[in-house]
Amino acid sequence: MAIQTPAIEVENLVRQFGDVFALDHVSVSIRKGEFFSLLGPSGCGKTTLLRCIGGLDIPDEGVIRIDGTDAREIPAHKRPVNTVFQSYALFPHLTVRGNIAFGLQMKKVAKPEIEERVKRVMDMVQIAKLADRKPAQLSGGQKQRVALARAIVNEPSVLLLDEPLGALDLKLRKELQIELLALQRRLGITFVYVTHDQEEALVMSDRIAVMRAGKIEQMGEAEALYENPRTRYVSTFLGSCNLLEATVRQRTPTGAVVQTTVGELRVEGSIPDRNKFTLAIRPEKVALCAPGESAGENRIKVKVVEVIYIGSETHYVLKAGEQPLSAEAMNVKVGHQGFDIGQDAVVHLPAAGLLVLDD
Amino acid sequence: MRRPSFPLWLVSGFLYVFMYAPIVVVIVFSFNVAKHGGPWTGFTTEWYQQLLRPAYSIASELKVVEYREHIKQLELRTLFNKISEILLQPRNDKWSAAINTGILAFASTILATALGTMLGYGLSRYWFPGKKLFSLLMYIPVVIPDIVMAVAMLSFYAMVRDWLGLFELGMTTMIIAHITFQIPFVAIVVRSRLAGMDPAIEEAAHDLGASSWQTFWHVTFPLMLPGVLAGAMLAFTLSLDDFVVSFFTTGPGATTLPILIYSSVKRGITPDINALSTLIVLASVIGTLGVTLLQRPAKPSGG
């Protein structure tokens, strides 16, 4: 693959509000045509980063390059990026058509061309029928489509989306996720997508940056990020995780044997030099068996404390002594899945599923 | 919504009676035949006819003007002079007071609306040192008694006149005084309209390629326009009703309707004064209704 200029390059970006660092030396490079998500809880700086890229907020330090051009001196209205706002921010005094045409009118595009492009975009997001309505007459999902159409009609090189589906109900949200993703693939526009919903980020993104307190904690492809979280924060924010404090007993050529609150465990992979660290294991990697059944290594006796049946799978809350553990299993058996509250069982923690965290 | 209990009905009933009974009396007696007031002797519209008679003659005089010819010849100045001559021709004291009131209200409202809108916009969209103090100071003309305001204006004019020879009391001084008390009302209405606006809307305009100036004209101004118009109507109504400030800052030949009414009632309340007052009430009610309609909150953009 040829080396391309990144769509967005951010270097050591700092934005301070009083004593609080909304952005604390953030650096990130976003590839052309990529669906890139900024994921984090509210107040982590993800929206501030988006606003700095769009020119709606001015960073205190650092560099932003858009298509290789230093954007620091370019005001918002001249940047080749457009934003879909969380509140939609449609112009209440203009019709749907007027809202979508706004950007092209400001750029003094010829009238027939405006008409044609507006029509094409309205067809693309299926709002042609709403052309003459005012925003107050639209439902949440329709407003969302208008906000999207208003941005993409300008053919920006990067589209910035600030929790665009945040105000919609779950069903509509899932539908629009798929639609948005299809649209992005079709248009080939780079999407920078801000969300606090980890599932949404996993479903849609090529790459995800998990943010915390103004910093990017970990960045990578969705699968890599989920399978190999490096910190406690990432492991629990993206999905859920069992965390175990471990002390090294013995180092082996392939890993180590460690002591934890649930007993001795064998761990694979590179082991840090320090003797104490945190182990993480995803609930779905925890294999729950009946006491008699043979299971693999790292066997631990547990008691079933809670059974949460959710149709396609069942979640179990377990206790190994005082240590709570959670396990998830697909309901592949026909009929009763086999574990009840209060029952004794055995779990097996496969060495490959035990991750060594950095903190 | 709950239904009010009987005592509540009673109290609000009294309240409304106290508020509106005097106005109703004025309106009713404006149709009284008795020339010098006093008891009801019969129904007539004589007083309204008397008041509006000059309007008929003005209308007939205006009809004669050859508008087309003047506009074709581009003699707009001549046309303007002719029209203002007809309007301003002295007919009777009530009519010239009405004309004065109109000039005062229109001139002061237009200027106060322009200035008040700028003030409201500035206070809502910019930050500058001392902004808080300045916002508070803006309320002074709203809260201080009219009489204090009037005396202050009068002594200020007198002082400037001594130094510079400007501000001879008359229409100009009255207009300036009215603008002074109207500006804060316009600014407050405009500012509250802007405060209710999602700041992301202006950001969206910027984001879509509109410069600051384009954003103002294509987005901010149309959205604050109802506030501007409401402020203007409020200012107009205030100017129309004002007696105290006008009385102190007026000069010879610039008598307004409230001043005229004040000097006439000293000689007894006559039905034609009642008729005049009724017309003023009507104008104020129309203005207030306009404000109420325009002040309805903008339809929410979310949800």
When mean pLDDT is compared across A16-20, A93-97, A270-274, B222-226, the lowest value belongs to A270-274
State percent of chain A over pLDDT 70.
98
Which pLDDT tens digit goes with each residue over A37-52?
999 998 899 999 999 9
Sheet holding A313-320, edge to edge: A287-289, A344-348, A299-309, A313-320, A323-330
Residues B105 and B97: beta-carbon distance below 8 Å = no
Q: Which residue of B has its CA nearest to A109?
A: B209
Q: What is the pLDDT of residue A2?
A: 54
Which pLDDT tens digit goes with each residue over A276-293?
889 999 999 988 888 777
Which of the four pLDDT bands, split at 50, 70 and 90, describes residue B236?
very high
Nearest-Cα distance to chain B for A301, in Å, is 51
The predicted model gives A124-151 an average pLDDT of: 92
Is A240-356 assigned to CATH 2.40.50.100? yes
Nearest-Cα distance to chain A for B100, in Å, is 38
Nearest-Cα distance to chain B for A65, in Å, is 17
The predicted model gives A295-318 an average pLDDT of: 87
Q: Which chain B residues are Cβ-neighbours of A149 within 8 angstroms?
A: none
Structural domains of chain B, count: 1
Domain that holds residue B220: 92-294
Q: Which chain A residues are Cβ-neighbours of B205 within 8 angstroms?
A: 91, 102, 106
Q: What is the pLDDT of residue A160?
A: 96
In a domain, B17, yes or no: no
Q: Which chain A residues are Cβ-neighbours of B200 within 8 angstroms?
A: 85-87, 89
Which of the four pLDDT bands, split at 50, 70 and 90, describes residue B268?
confident
Of A56, A88, A136, the CB nearest to B299: A136
Which pLDDT tens digit goes with each residue over B176-230?
999 999 999 999 999 999 998 888 999 999 999 999 999 999 999 999 998 999 9
In a domain, B62, yes or no: no
Q: What is the pLDDT of residue B54?
A: 83
Q: What is the pLDDT of residue B301?
A: 40
Q: What is the pLDDT of residue A131?
A: 92
Which H or E run includes A246? strand A242-252
Residues A248 and A275: beta-carbon distance below 8 Å = yes
Which pLDDT tens digit goes with each residue over A159-199?
999 999 988 888 888 989 999 999 999 999 999 999 999 98
Of residues B170, B217, B181, the one with CA closest to residue B108? B181
CA angle in degrees (0–180, nearest 5) for B103-B107-B109:
120
In a domain, B84, yes or no: no
Which of the four pLDDT bands, split at 50, 70 and 90, describes residue A3?
low
Q: Is the pLDDT score of B96 beyond 90?
A: no
Tell me if domain A8-228 and domain A240-356 are identical in fold: no
State percent of chain B over pLDDT 90.
41
Residues A125 and A150: beta-carbon distance below 8 Å = no
Chosen from A85, A114, A152 to mutate, greatest number of chain B CBs within 10 A: A85
Phi, psi of B163 (to 5 degrees): -80, -50
Q: Do B302 and A167 touch (CB under 8 A)?
A: yes
Domain ranges across chain A: 8-228, 240-356
Chosen from B193, B208, B221 to mutate, greatest number of chain A CBs within 10 A: B208
Q: Is the pLDDT score of B165 beyond 50?
A: yes
Q: Which chain A residues are Cβ-neighbours of B218 within 8 angstroms?
A: 102, 106
Q: Which residues contact B6 (CB under 8 A, 6 or more apart)?
A: none
Which pLDDT tens digit goes with each residue over B102-152?
999 999 999 999 999 999 999 988 888 988 898 898 888 889 999 999 999
In a domain, B213, yes or no: yes
Which pLDDT tens digit goes with each residue over A227-260?
999 999 999 888 889 999 988 888 888 888 888 8
Q: Do A106 and B302 touch (CB under 8 A)?
A: no
Q: Is the pLDDT score of B296 beyond 80?
A: no
A8-228 fold: Rossmann fold (3.40.50)
The predicted model gives B45-54 an average pLDDT of: 87
In a domain, B85, yes or no: no
Q: What is the pLDDT of residue B191?
A: 93
Q: Is the pLDDT score of B300 beyond 50?
A: no
**Which amino acid, A310?**
I
Residue B136: give its domain's CATH number.
1.10.3720.10
The predicted model gives A259-266 an average pLDDT of: 86
